[in-house]
Amino acid sequence: MPAPNHPELSHCLQQVLPSAQAEAIPLPLTPAIKLYLINQDFPQQSLSQDEMLAVMNYPAYWAFCWASGQVLAQYLLEQPERVRGKTVLDFGSGSGVVAIAAAMAGAATIYACDIDPDAMMATAANAKLNQVELKLYNDFFDITADIDVIIVADVLYDKENLPWLGRFIERAPEVLVADSRVKHFSYPPYTLIERREGSTVPDLDEFDEFRDVRIYYAHRR
Ligand SMILES: C[S@@+](CC[C@H](N)C(=O)[O-])C[C@H]1O[C@@H](n2cnc3c(N)ncnc32)[C@H](O)[C@@H]1O
């Protein structure tokens, strides 16, 4: 049976890749979580010049579950005490994978924040698909509630996002960051607590180094 398709999210993808669909698929590392992602057989190699430019101008990050997101979701499902009963904020939620894992792990209230309005739409659709409740925000600074834990996966691909590491620990007493992009990660008080292999879904055939996901933890003293 074909995977269920999400018409509005498929429509967003078709603005840049006319044959793309947003299909619901279970994640390999956390099959309890299903996400609407770009169809696995989307044409990676055979994009025209115009399609390539369109993809670069509109990077639909929400249409992939990034390796760090999948690994952090798996970690939270295995170690639910990290978030159970707490107020959690997923920064750069994309598809919403980490926020959904936090909800499944028993977090009391979960905020999902992403600057991309289409990512917010994807997070909302994926929350509904997984039957969890999330509060959605485009702007981190609009969230006024007390936050116990900030969770972050794969937002450090852009070096301009590095200063957020300092803002997170000012905003919440605990922060978990999953990343496979920063080579020499040295940002006290963040310390490496876990290293796991993961891949982006659908698999983008990235270099092995980007499959080596590290989880860093910081807490305020
Ligand atoms: C590579 S995706 C990761 C998505 C998801 N966390 C995962 O692991 O699959 C990075 C996401 O961070 C979002 N993002 C980047 N900078 C941001 C900012 N300053 N505030 C909120 N979201 C941001 C992007 O829009 C994108 O959806």
- Tens digit of pLDDT at every position of the chain (221 positions): 667 789 999 999 998 888 889 999 999 999 999 999 999 887 666 667 777 677 767 788 999 999 999 999 999 999 999 999 999 999 999 999 999 999 999 999 999 999 999 999 999 999 999 999 999 999 999 999 999 999 999 999 889 999 999 999 999 999 999 999 998 899 999 999 999 999 999 887 777 788 899 999 999 97
Q: Which atom of ligand 1 is nearest to the CA of 152?
A: 6
Answer yes or no: is the C-beta of 156 below 6 A from any ligand 1 atom: no
Answer yes or no: is the C-beta of 155 below 6 A from any ligand 1 atom: yes
Q: What is the pLDDT of residue 43?
A: 65
> What domains, with CATH codes, occur in the chain?
7-63 (no CATH), 67-219 (3.40.50.150)
Do residues 122 and 100 touch, judged by C-beta distance below 8 A? no
Q: What is the pLDDT of residue 207?
A: 75
Q: What is the pLDDT of residue 204?
A: 79
CA distance 163 to 67: 22
φ, ψ of residue 30 to 5 degrees: the values are -135, 75
114 C-alpha to ligand 1 centroid (Å): 6
101 CB-near residues (< 8 Å, 6+ apart): 30, 33, 72, 73, 74, 76, 77
CA distance 47 to 63: 17
**What are the strands, taking DSSP E only, across the chain?**
22-26, 34-38, 87-91, 109-113, 135-137, 149-153, 174-179, 191-197, 212-219
Q: What is the pLDDT of residue 56?
A: 67
Nearest CA residue ID for atom 23, ligand 1:
92
Nearest CA residue ID for atom 8, ligand 1:
69
Answer yes or no: is the C-beta of 109 below 6 A from any ligand 1 atom: no
70 C-alpha to ligand 1 centroid (Å): 14
Answer yes or no: is the C-beta of 65 below 6 A from any ligand 1 atom: yes
Nearest CA residue ID for atom 21, ligand 1:
114
Region label for 106, one of left (φ > 0), alpha (ψ between -120 and 50) or beta (otherwise): left
Do residues 52 and 82 touch, judged by C-beta distance below 8 A? no
φ, ψ of residue 98 to 5 degrees: the values are -75, -35
